[in-house]
A = this chain, B = another copy of it.
Amino acid sequence: MEASVLYDRLDEELAVEDYADVDASANGLQVGSGAGAVDRVAVAVDGVQATFEAAADWDADAMVVHHGLSWGGIDRITGRTYDRVAALVENDIDLYAVHLPLDGHPQYGNAAGLADRLNLGNRAPFGRLGPVTVGQQGWLQQPASPAALHETLEDLLDHGGQGVRLLDFGPEEIESVAILTGSGTDWLDEAVAADVDAYVTGEPEGKLYHMAREAGVNVFLGGHYGTETFGVRALADLIAEWGPETAFLDEPTGL
């Protein structure tokens, strides 16, 4: 597959343009000539030394990641950034990054992937950010206790053995759930306003505790990595349909 065709299709499928004003990440091709053919595409949550090396070992032509290298402009290609860029250049691997468009996508997104596995019904976009959304909400098929949903999430999320943290300040029966993967503190209030019984997010930011307690909502914290493998895995499947061979390079962090 032509490299430029692959990147253009991803841009289009994921509506990358719509997120341009609200995402610090420079989404799209971040490193590489973007020329030539792409036969093997590795996907990973984080674009870092470990995944770049794994991609080189697997002989990838390109990588698609959720967290790339360019967040508001690279001032110097030195230190950690040099090592990462050099790993790509020396192994001739293009880096394509897609951040918020992959969090919020209703089909391929991180929140959508978890909502699918929770079998949430009556789904709706959640997590307003300017003109777009970066999460999902919906209803469990059967009400569940916080403890039961806790167990389910510990099974579903790639938490690297660190478990999922539950702040059980909400109702004892959970029917409605809002999901915002990664770092979701800023949307707890939207979840409360939407009157959900449970809010699932990733990073255990300190101020979440009293926000949840005062609002009376159950909060599940599955870790940034743990909640964000669904998107790139869905892209691996999508790209495979287009022709290239794909692989998911799993590097769980427990954070």
B76 & A85 in contact (Cβ 8 Å cutoff): no
Check A29/B165 contact, CB under 8 A, given A205-B255, A253-B206.
Answer: no
A85 & B80 in contact (Cβ 8 Å cutoff): no
For chain A, the count of residues having a C-beta within 8 Å of the partner chain is 55
Give Cα distance in the complex from A77 to B95, angstroms: 10
B80 & A32 in contact (Cβ 8 Å cutoff): no
A54 interface residue, CB < 8 Å from B? Answer: no
B89 & A85 in contact (Cβ 8 Å cutoff): yes
Provide the A34-74 mask, 1 if CB < 8 A to any CB of B, else 0: 10000000000010111000000000000000010110111
A75 & B26 in contact (Cβ 8 Å cutoff): yes
Provide the A130-142 mask, 1 if CB < 8 A to any CB of B, else 0: 0000000000000
Given contacts A30-B77, A72-B73, A182-B206, 5 further A-B contacts (CB under 8 A): A33-B83, A46-B207, A85-B85, A207-B224, A208-B255
